[in-house]
Structure 1
Amino acid sequence: MRKKLTSLLLGLGLAGTAVLATGGAAQGHGYTDSPVSRQQLCGNGTVRNCGQIQWEPPSVEGPKGFPARGPADGHICSGGIGRFHELDDPRGGNWPATSLTAGQSHTFVWRITARHSTTDFRYYITKDGWDSTKPLTRADLDPQPFLTVAFGGRQPGSTVTHAGVLPQKTGRHLILGVWTIADTGNAFYACSDVRF
């Protein structure tokens, strides 16, 4: 009887572990679709050799409070999640880049797969002279977001769009989108390579 009970408990434990293991991968949250983010480029197969992020593009969730807190420098695009480190790899500055026009209005689009009460969406851009062949650091970004969209704790829909004027930039840059969650200690991070 004891052997059967031990086998049953072990089986239940393994089943529970399997549920937890698959549950984490199935839970997504959100990513930018315009301009297209690195995680979306991996998820849709445009970029190869992306590791686990190709199956979990909406899961780049890290500590909120950027830029004072949040993911460490060099790990911002992955949200500080080690298994998504491919997003931090600059790939020699060769990530596909969305063409944008400086000073023009752009409609930013987030795809939301798990809705959360939201503080805001913020967009940062790299400084002039940024080196696209190196992992992103805070020092690479203009210190203030060029666009902040307050959400006042509301839950977004499955698609969030908002328009903002793009900064006056030329050449290749990176836009960091940060979706700050109101009722947890986390935010979602999305790096989009762009060319003005």
Structure 2
Amino acid sequence: MRKRFTAAAVGLLVMGGTVVATGSASSHGYTDSPVTSRQKHCANKTVTNCGNIQWEPQSVEGPKGFPSGGPSDGLICAGGNGQFSQLDDPRGGAWPSTKVNSGSSQTFTWRFTARHRTTDFKYYITKQGWNSNQKLTRAALESQPFLTVPYGGKQPPESLSHSGSLPSRSGKHVVLAVWTVHDTPNAFYACSDVQF
């Protein structure tokens, strides 16, 4: 099934401003611009030593149900996929980050390689004072998303935009975007590093 997904998908983008999709039951996605995900940084070679994710940025798929379910702590950015473990490496807090402002409206972009019925999109952010040198855990994240976009099991169009206000923060943080697929047991995960 993983090979089928890989062959079907190249280039799904999560955070920035639009959701894009194409056609079959195998969907994939990751955050793009203006807030760029770690997997996108690997795919466009802004960051090196990324392993397989550089060829499969759209494939960060894991169990849905976050935060009560989903990938284990420390494996969240890779969706629990060991083959993409480079995404969980904090790299000493040195992942490239997008400059953002507290309270500002931020547009998030999803791009799909294949459309899939969708339950919702949720965006979580790290707590003030979290440790950027450690792998991402639930304890480091706010327990509630700062933005939830319900999608009611509909199939998204080729592009979809949604915006929300960022919480008040200072310093470096991680935004975790979770796209919950409606008709499979999985969701797609994307970590994006931001600098307030």
Calculate the TM-score normalised by the size of structure 1. 0.87
Counterparts of 1:130-145 in structure 2, within 5 Å, are 130-145=130-145
User: Number of residue pairs matched?
Assistant: 177
2:151 maps to 151
Matched residue, 2:32: 33
Runs of 4+ in 1 over 4 A off after TM superposition: none
Q: What are the residue-to-residue correspondences of 1:35-114 with 2, within 5 Å?
A: 35-114=35-114
Structure-1 residue corresponding to 2:167: 167
SS in 2 for 1:95: coil
After superposition, give the CA deviation of every residue in 1:75-134 in whole Å (9 maximum; x if it has no partner).
Answer: 000000010000000001000000001101111111111211000000000000011111
Deviation at 1:24, TM superposition (A): 4.4
Supply the distance in 1 between the matched residues of 2:88 and 2:65 (Cα, whole angstroms): 19
Rounded Cα–Cα distance in structure 1 between residues aligned with 2:151 and 2:7:
26
Q: Structure 1 vs Structure 2: percent identity of aligned residues?
A: 62
1:23 aligns with 2:4: yes
In structure 1, list runs of 5 or more residues that go unmatched: 1-19
Structure 2 unmatched runs, 5+: 10-27
User: Is residue 73–residue 138 contact of structure 1 (8 Å, CA) maintained in 2?
Assistant: yes
Alignment-derived partner of residue 120 in structure 2: 120
Are the equivalent residues in 1 in contact too, given 2:5–2:59 (CA < 8 A)? no
Aligned-residue CA RMSD (Å): 1.2
Bigger radius of gyration: 1
